Structure 1
């Protein structure tokens, strides 16, 4: 049996309610989760939260979640990326409520970095628009989560969504057009 096969068995066991399996999964994927967290934290000031802290927060979130449903390593990583995005958005909203900006950075829809205090509203708006997009086309919303929030490459997104790279390009193009239209209407 390969590592992926063993890991898939633990992921399926965790999906079936075996909470001990989560510890094995996190330990096996810890480095990958830290890398995914670091990509997402590219949007934040490193002083606000570390990649380790974000992975630990995801672990706590998964530990408390009773309705987890992943079926592979990449599917688990995609769900983890979504959880990281939610934690980051919560932190951004909290900072916005506290009327603090700081030297935070975010990736924009044009893949350029800019200070978060100039871009916090965009990230929060994209997150809210993502809910609308999910109701229209879940695959497009998952593509945005992987590409925009998780910083996944086209290949990583294709693996997470179980589609080919050309499909990811098409989804990403459609998603960006929809988001730009939706955000311009706000």
Structure 2
């Protein structure tokens, strides 16, 4: 499919535009070029949440890519949109896994666990519960301030640093810090901080 976009677009942006127009080779090139960044972000996020054993980095990145490929009408205009979408996708995958874990805990898998096995499960349970609570609060924040919610998504679920968020969103690190402080204060109240 011919592309009517100006040739002076940055290479990754041009590939993203081609990919959203159905060019599978362009999508593969986007994935190959951004894979190291996605893998690093996914690994940091899983390690930070203590879920590195429950879900591996490669699975999270590949599942994110499969959801990208399966999205119809997706508009990835530039690198910023791609990373915002990746953060949202990783969030959805992590939350789906936490919900599945919670359902199994409430009898879904019907696996019998003795009291002696509880130490690891308590840690995993509290991590799943926290993820679900943060996700619910984030849904409320999205309705109030989508920009703040996206920042939380990129920081908390995507594992991006302030510098990376600033680069991806085209804003200063100071602005990211200010918005992050505001979002954390809002989440603190929404989550019923002590």
TM over 0.5: yes
1:144 aligns with 2:152: yes
After TM superposition, the structure 1 stretch with the greater mean CA deviation from structure 2, 123-132 or 74-83, is 74-83
Find the counterpart in structure 1 of residue 34 from structure 2.
29
Equivalent pairs, count: 173
Question: Is the contact between residue 86 and residue 158 of structure 2 (CA under 8 Å) also seen in structure 1?
Answer: no
Residue 44 of structure 2 corresponds to: 39
Residue 24 of structure 2 aligns with which residue? 19
Post-superposition CA distance 1:57-78 (Å, at most 9, x none): 1111111101322222233122
**Matches of 2:181 and 2:165 in 1, distance apart?**
14
Contact 1:126–1:183 (Cα < 8 Å) also in 2: yes
Flag structure 2 segments of 5+ consecutive residues without an equivalent.
Answer: 1-8, 107-117
Match of 1:6 in 2: 11
Question: Which has the greater radius of gyration?
Answer: 2
Name the CA distance, whole Å, in 1 between partners of 2:182 and 2:10. 34
TM-score w.r.t. length of structure 2 = 0.80
| Equivalent position of 2:136 in the other structure | 128
* TM-superposed deviation, 1:147: 1.4
In the alignment, is residue 166 of structure 1 matched against residue 174 of structure 2? Answer: yes
Of 46, 54, 62 in structure 2, the residue corresponding to residue 56 of structure 1 is 62
CA RMSD of aligned residues (A): 2.3
In 2: Cα distance, 1:171 partner to 1:163 partner: 11
Whole-Å Cα distance in 2 between the matches of residues 134 and 91 of structure 1?
A: 21
TM-score relative to the length of structure 1:
0.83
Residues 40 and 85, structure 1, Cα contact 8 Å, conserved in 2 = no
Q: 1:131 to 1:45 in 2, by over 3 A?
A: closer
**Structure 1: which 5+ runs fail to align?**
105-113
Whole-angstrom CA distance in 1 between matches of 2:123 and 2:79:
33
SS at match of 1:172: helix
Distance 1:181 1:51, change over 3 A: same
Q: Which residue of 2 aligns with 1:111?
A: none
